[in-house]
Chain A
């Protein structure tokens, strides 16, 4: 990302001084008295580092489905990656990584990477802003929430914030944003709960000054807001600076890599003892409508540079955490507002290609305590693709949040449902956490359910044969744009086979999907619709 953007994007909330060379950092504290009292035995020093890939990352050129390579090439004549340039993953012969992602390949092969396939939400929105709001707030696509999922999480642990914060028990910021720009993510019901960081020496003392009571109107509201930020900034700034001075880093980070500089600063403040538990950093530039690749060498170009920055920075960060013996405490996760269309275009210099806004895409989690492996199956690329075809969701992004909250931060109901508003699947994303007593292999779970569709294509009518285990089951019909068109079944099913009829309700011809979900298991099967 451009340095300029970094500087100007200091987000709302409390900002902490930059730790090095003017780099801003934003942090959240983990020592919750409530948490310690009511959740005894739970490890409270877990840290989550979120990496936002701004603009909508092209999942299909990030993780390439080798079992559909021919269809992939014909859908993307301008930007497809040569199969011999792709990076293989141990034990996986159906997919491979973009050639620029050597760092992620290494992490995967060391069992420190988890990939969740086709993460999205029902009824995708193709607006950057709306979709970013959906991802950061955790809303349904037809719902507007004015708080963020992590803001709500923090509010359950620090319900009084910002009143009487910081204090002796919680001296550190609750969350830190480094050059990120997503105020909604950490917006709590009462206040913005995150802090941004910039240059340490700009923190003069907030003047004692005047303190006339704030009037009870819009003017008073904003006056009060500015005064509160002023009071908090000073002590959070000191806390961050002290941790930075006490901390250190060991590993070599790649030079000229903006994300690496920030992750290095974060490793350092964690090693210096900052009790902040949530960090948000971002890397912008993924909105690759045009010039996604370089003509002549498609494994280079804008997208390749971004993926390389990401993957190199994350590997260096992980190495640093290992050397600092902090790797047990830190989990990382990428996310982006959406993926991109299956079909490419010819936008760009000398006819270089690009892609339009899309739907689901893979999401990456890294760290010593991830459950290594790949969750879900490759997206299906139809033989004939039109420009509106999209990759349907296999996993709701809130199932990922649910799993992180439950299994990394040990959040239990009723707080969990309060934060996420509804119940979601629990995915095995985190391995050795104290909160997880048994981990099951999701993909073997996935094998316990199955769907057969006959006839396929659907012309007038077809039958869906579902083989399930005992439990609550959802079966959905998903459109080529990734929209849930119809819930075919929702409710408890007994173990065994069940049949469901599906009629062609004037659906336009195209590549549809049927998705089944039972507990943490799910499958998504393509269904072609032919308009009679």
Chain B
């Protein structure tokens, strides 16, 4: 066979003949086992704790979804762990929160950076410590959708407010959220809305509001350059009040263009009539109404939710059988996010075997997920030193994910991260030789005695604790199979289980050597020699499981 034939066969197998998940949005009523529970949890959380799976299996889909689709309270705000006795923060004591600190122009600039770094670490901490609800994952979804960059905002207080806005409203109403984002100080700053005036209209926000945030640029979204200009004129006059905490917007009607704004046929040729004086700011409501009346807004956000939670490929069949009905449902539910997501996560389509395991883990799914799956121990607050260590560890995970391509708080551009918008590769963008090698290095280190080190903090997997959660750790084969079925999405061949098992019985002719070692350890768990005998083998096993392509899928 020459290369060309081989290629065409390879290509066909790979690309042409894959069956799409067929089932539609009708409610799922198939089996409810660990496989479905893990699938749901992996997509809605960052990594899954064993206790979460067990609970969701016993709850059944409906009750589990009810719990998962709630928003738990935001943990207490990030605190000053950055100032030193030599250089104190004049506005915030060590250990106190800076989120309501005044905007102080004379504060050393490095403190602005330090606060932002601490805020990001805290955000990651919230993911690591997440309750079993969608709140953190959904906040990331909105962070990617309504992107702002902390590097541009510079003021950690504003970023914290923005995070709070996204998280508080993550399951609320999309239309309300779009309005609130439009007047949020961080967004006004990020896309220059605060500089937009009738004398010098700035199209930046008006463009992204349409192209990225609402109607999008789908095949049927045909807004025009004149629509961008009209929206820019509506959005003139919004300013940031920097003197009062929390930061707020105000409306300067002297900067507002109060003439009428006519939109193209894409928007039904409607005119938004100019409103004078302080009433001018209500033109924003008219604009939001106009954008949400257009069916493209619901379709655009449904496509984004689909790509984030289900899979990135949207062919005609998915568009017609999933996206459009879901968008219609969302419109019918008046842009209620919770109801829309419930509809998707309870559908046959979502649990179709072909939907399971096809998402490539984002760097946060990978890094935070690993911490949670293996219950990796983080420093807890006891005193000032452990407080600093706690933030160092969270910041360490943040930097790890950043190195692999997802720096929290810093989407590369206003469209968010490429893996969630760049066709044709989408999620595959997370994996390249660099990031994959980095992930493998992490898997190696975190299973090694030295662990992964961030300055004074070490994070590592306790393989004995993990193995002990499995139903039958004394059996090498069962331990491998049960670990794999918890960490991967699909079963493997016996050949592969036996390959993994070889790491437990290295050099010995049969499984009983492992069983003996485990039982000896279990009978005398404080004996360091017995413990070491099992932990070194387990570390090798988990390093190997975590280094396979299968582990990067969710």
Contacts and interface: CB of A to CB of B under 8 A. Distances in A.
19 contacts: A5-B412, A8-B406, A10-B432, A11-B432, A17-B437, A127-B217, A159-B4, A160-B6, A204-B440, A207-B544, A210-B495, A216-B17, A222-B359, A222-B360, A225-B431, A226-B552, A229-B431, A230-B549, A233-B432
A202 B437 contact: yes
A183 B553 contact: no
Interface stretch (A189-197, A247-255, A316-324): A189-197
Contact of A190 (B7, B412, B435): B7
B382 interface: no
A38 interface: no
Contacts of B553: 219, 222-223, 226
A164 B3 contact: yes
B15 interface: yes
Interface of B: 3-4, 6-7, 10-11, 13-15, 17-19, 21, 151, 192, 195, 199-204, 207, 211, 217, 225, 228-229, 311, 313, 353-360, 402-403, 405-407, 410, 412-415, 418, 421-425, 427-429, 431-438, 440-441, 444, 489-490, 492-493, 495-496, 499-500, 544, 547-550, 552-553
Nearest to A346: B200
A217 B358 contact: yes
Interface in A453-482: 481
Contacts of A204: 437, 440-441, 444
Given A14-B432, A290-B195, A221 B15 contact: yes
Contacts of A532: none
A16 B433 contact: yes
A183 B422 contact: yes
Contact of A8 (B410, B414, B432, B489): B410
Contact of B436 (A219, A221, A229, A357): A229
A7 B18 contact: no
Interface of A: 2, 4-5, 7-18, 24, 126-130, 146, 159-160, 163-164, 181, 183-184, 187, 190, 192, 195-198, 202-204, 206-207, 209-212, 215-227, 229-230, 232-233, 236-237, 289-290, 345-348, 356-357, 387-388, 481
Nearest to B359: A222
A192 B425 contact: yes
Contact of A128 (B195, B413, B492): B413
B3 A163 contact: yes
A233 B11 contact: no
A218 B6 contact: no
A126 B228 contact: yes
A126 B225 contact: yes
Nearest to A206: B440
B438 A198 contact: yes
Contacts, number: 222
A301 B490 CA distance: 55
B436 A8 contact: no
Contact of A226 (B422, B431, B437): B431
Ordered nearest first, which 8 A-B pairs have the shortest CB separation?
A15-B434, A233-B433, A15-B433, A218-B358, A226-B549, A210-B496, A15-B432, A12-B429
Contact of A14 (B6, B11, B427, B433): B433
A212 B550 CA distance: 10
A219 B200 contact: no
B6 A163 contact: yes
A488 B492 CA distance: 65
Nearest to B310: A218
B493 A212 contact: yes
Given A217-B19, A226-B360, A127 B207 contact: yes
B431 to A, nearest CB: 5
Nearest to B355: A218
A9 B405 CA distance: 6
A209 B495 CA distance: 11
B413 A289 contact: no
A159 B431 CA distance: 23
B198 to A, nearest CB: 11
B405 A163 contact: no
A218 B21 CA distance: 9
B422 A224 contact: no
A282 to B, nearest CB: 11
A221 B358 contact: yes
Nearest to B228: A126
A233 B217 CA distance: 35
Contact of B435 (A10, A159, A236): A10
Indicate the member of A130, A222, A236, A348 with the most B CB atoms within 10 Å. A222
A210 B500 contact: yes
Given A146-B424, A212-B496, A227 B200 contact: no
A356 B229 contact: no
A164 B1 CA distance: 13
A7 B550 CA distance: 25
